[in-house]
């Protein structure tokens, strides 16, 4: 019994550490001012999102890295996708990034309490070889990219304590709590 309690405690500590990303590291909400960096990020995204989409006047892209995200951020993101699946703003796209296929993604949706992957034509993009990860477009949780005229002007790396507001901004266009 004592070993079981120790194992549970160790697991809880590991989960707490996995979901605890320090805000003292590089800024999680970055306005990209360098034209070279704006174009570099757009080129990196073009390997995942079609160039025809990137050329739109305004665009928002969310990358959900299933395996890299902490369970809390991943589940909140999945819940938001399900809640807004019929009301995704125009020019907003969701990238499912995983080194695997739809069966793996379906498992994450089911573990979050949903029947399966929603059918959202023209919005969902499957990155089944985790190109986003190999290009370091996300850290450990969902990443949000906001583009204007084909250039990335803002990037947000979600954290467990900010993911709700990050998702609210992506799906509704505003935050309740400012940074």
Q: What pLDDT score was predicted for residue 175?
A: 85
Please state the domain extents for the chain.
2-172
* pLDDT score of 3: 55
DSSP-derived letter for residue 145 is E
Residue 96: phi and psi, rounded to 5, are: -95, 110
pTM, full prediction: 0.83
For the chain, 179 residues long, give each residue's pLDDT as a single digit of tens: 555 555 454 444 444 454 544 444 444 999 999 999 999 999 999 889 887 787 788 899 999 999 999 999 999 999 999 999 999 999 999 999 999 989 999 999 999 999 999 999 989 999 999 999 999 999 999 999 999 988 999 999 999 999 999 999 999 998 887 65
CA distances from 176 to 100, 114, 170 (A): 35, 27, 12
Looking at residue 96, its pLDDT comes to 96
In angstroms, what CA-CA distances link 175 with 23, 35, 146, 162, 168?
19, 27, 15, 10, 6
Domain 2-172: which CATH class? alpha beta
pLDDT in the model for residue 103: 93
Residue 12's pLDDT is 43
């Amino acid at each position: 019994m004592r070993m079981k309690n120790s194992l549970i405690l160790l697991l809880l500590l590991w989960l707490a550490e996995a979901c605890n990303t320090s805000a003292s590291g590089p800024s999680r909400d970055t306005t990209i001012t360098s034209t070279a960096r704006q174009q570099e990020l757009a080129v990196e995204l073009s390997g995942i999102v079609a160039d025809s989409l990137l050329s739109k006047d305004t665009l928002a892209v969310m990358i959900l890295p299933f395996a890299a995200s902490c369970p809390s951020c991943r589940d909140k993101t999945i819940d938001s996708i399900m809640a807004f699946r019929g009301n995704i703003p125009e020019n907003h796209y969701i990238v499912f990034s995983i080194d695997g296929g739809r069966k793996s993604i379906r498992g994450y949706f089911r573990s979050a309490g949903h029947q399966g992957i929603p059918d959202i034509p023209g919005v969902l993009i499957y990155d089944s070889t985790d190109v986003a990860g190999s290009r370091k477009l996300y850290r450990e949780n969902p990443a949000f990219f906001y583009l204007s005229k084909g250039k990335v002007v803002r990037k947000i790396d979600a954290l467990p304590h900010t993911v709700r507001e990050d998702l609210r901004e992506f799906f509704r266009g505003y935050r309740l709590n400012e940074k």
